Structure 1
Amino acid sequence: MYRKELYLYQQDTPIKAIVRNYMKEDFDQLIEIQRECFPPPFPSDLLWNEEQLTNHITLFPEGALCIEIDGEVVGSMTGLLVDFDPNHSQHTWEEITDSGYIRTHNSTGNTLYVVDISVKPAYRKLDLGKLLMQSMYDVVIHKDLDRLLGGGRMPGYHRVSEELSPQDYLNKIISGTLRDPVISFLLRCGRMPVTLIENYLEDEESLNYGVLMEWRNPFK
């Protein structure tokens, strides 16, 4: 099981954080994190439920990570293993993650696929999302996998969709001309674009597009 303790800095004040696998006792806090990250009008039935979380800790507990600060769970990240073929990269989030229930988990898969990452808004200045991502890279190396993979939303795309194609929008983010809240964050975490996916996730801001992005195991 995974456990890492470290200090983060809020201005000049060190704050102790623990990254660990989440457990059944954390479920209420994990669901509350989702409520804070995705407030109404986001449909409440799309937030984590107990069955999904139970599957996470049962089918692939190594891919169920959370961050604890002062006894409070303030962020989480979930993954599953898939057997990814770069020559057949098109898929939807629902297909590959089983809508978050991860019954598609393949224990012999070559790729750690990101299901979700969420951090309470009040704690985002501590770069907890980046810490969770780096912790999942640890899992990739520990399990001798080829990569971490996942689709990123493009929530800024709807503002420029009449002027730019999805690929042009992505190119401008990569060149530094534009910034996107999700794609730019993933780039800062070391993720590299693989391909655009149409109808990846029902998301008005992204016009349903997603960018498949990977982090390759540097030892493979």
Structure 2
Amino acid sequence: MSYNKSFYVFQETTPLPVTIRNYRVSDIPEMIDIQRECFPPPFPSELLWNEEQLQSHIERFPEGALCAEADGRLIGSMTGLITQFDPDHPQHRWEDVTDHGYIRNHQPDGNSLYVVDISVRPDYRKYGIGKWLMQSMYETVVQLRLERLLGGGRMPGYHRFADRMTPEAYADAVMKGELRDPVITFLLRCGRTPVVVARDYLEDEESCNHALLMEWKNPFLST
């Protein structure tokens, strides 16, 4: 199943054509460049995509390998894999569920589409590209008849409050609108809902290694 969708976003009053499609081997250099732009230090450089990981995404689950293209170049990407999620045992680490980003543990018969990564070049973030990528993954969930889209949201604002708030209290304050977090607030705006705080989820200084596990349930399978 291939994915290709074209639409317009707006630069103030000027329409900008954008295409979301599956990324290919020829896109790998630009995919790596996007990550460098999106995750500067102190984000660990060893967690940025490498060529072998991206090759694995394309070979093992091309349906979950999406990129956004505009102005003749790639401006964003989103990657997922299928996994078997047990809501009664939600705690996990990013490196375990994604096979350190190589997705060799992709389970075609699993029940959930797991977000490995989403990235949008900073210059294009005000155009809603991240929301469009997320919507495209929701469509993939529906097409594949999976139960949910699932993933851990970084909490990059948490380090400013870690000396006086637990990660659960911080996430709760964001949910109540008392605080704003760049990632969690964005995911809420995209329709994701919280599941649980995942501790020791990812080496991430800004989030103090925590993340908020969030999901979007397939409305066509809800009971």
Task: Place the TM-score, normalised by the shorter chain, in its bin.
Answer: over 0.9
- For residue 110 of structure 2, what is the amino acid of its counterpart? G
Q: Return closer, same or farther for 1:217/1:50 CA change in 2, 3 Å cut-off.
A: same
- SS at 2:182's partner residue? coil
Higher mean Cα deviation, 158-167 or 119-128? 158-167
1:162 aligns with 2:163: yes
Contact 2:42/2:205, CA 8 A, preserved across alignment: no
1:36 aligns with 2:28: no
Q: What's the CA shift for 1:46?
A: 2.4
Q: What's the CA shift for 1:35?
A: 1.1
- For residue 153 of structure 1, what is the amino acid of its counterpart? R
Q: What's the CA shift for 1:104?
A: 1.1
Equivalent position of 2:210 in the other structure: 209
- SS at 1:4's partner residue? strand
Equivalent position of 1:80 in the other structure: 81
- SS at 1:16's partner residue? strand
- SS at 1:158's partner residue? helix
Q: What's the CA shift for 1:71?
A: 2.1
Mapping 1:86-97, distance limit 5 Å: 86-97=87-98
- For residue 137 of structure 2, what is the amino acid of its counterpart? M
Q: Deviations over 1:155-214 (max 9, x none)?
A: 111111122121111111111010001110100000000011110111111111111100
Equivalent position of 1:27 in the other structure: 28
Q: Return closer, same or farther for 1:44/1:196 CA change in 2, 3 Å cut-off.
A: closer
Q: Deviations over 1:32-77 (max 9, x none)?
A: 1011112245443322111100100000000000000022111000
Equivalent position of 1:121 in the other structure: 122
Equivalent position of 1:144 in the other structure: 145
- SS at 1:200's partner residue? coil
Q: Return closer, same or farther for 1:193/1:182 CA change in 2, 3 Å cut-off.
A: same
Higher mean Cα deviation, 103-112 or 156-165? 156-165
Mapping 1:179-218, distance limit 5 Å: 179-218=180-219
Higher mean Cα deviation, 162-171 or 184-193? 162-171
Higher mean Cα deviation, 131-140 or 45-54? 45-54
Gaps of 5+ in 1: none
C-alpha distance in 1 between matches for 2:111 and 2:41: 37
C-alpha distance in 1 between matches for 2:69 and 2:191: 23
Note the aligned Cα RMSD (angstroms).
0.9
Contact 2:23/2:67, CA 8 A, preserved across alignment: yes
- For residue 133 of structure 1, what is the amino acid of its counterpart? M
- For residue 19 of structure 2, what is the amino acid of its counterpart? I
C-alpha distance in 1 between matches for 2:33 and 2:165: 36
C-alpha distance in 2 between matches for 1:200 and 1:101: 17
C-alpha distance in 2 between matches for 1:46 and 1:162: 26
Q: Return closer, same or farther for 1:60/1:77 CA change in 2, 3 Å cut-off.
A: same
C-alpha distance in 2 between matches for 1:173 and 1:42: 22
Q: Deviations over 1:6-47 (max 9, x none)?
A: 010110000000000000010011011011112245443322
Q: Deviations over 1:86-113 (max 9, x none)?
A: 0111100000001100011001111000
- For residue 64 of structure 1, what is the amino acid of its counterpart? A
Equivalent position of 2:64 in the other structure: 63
TM-score for both structures, normalised by structure 2: 0.96
- SS at 2:163's partner residue? coil
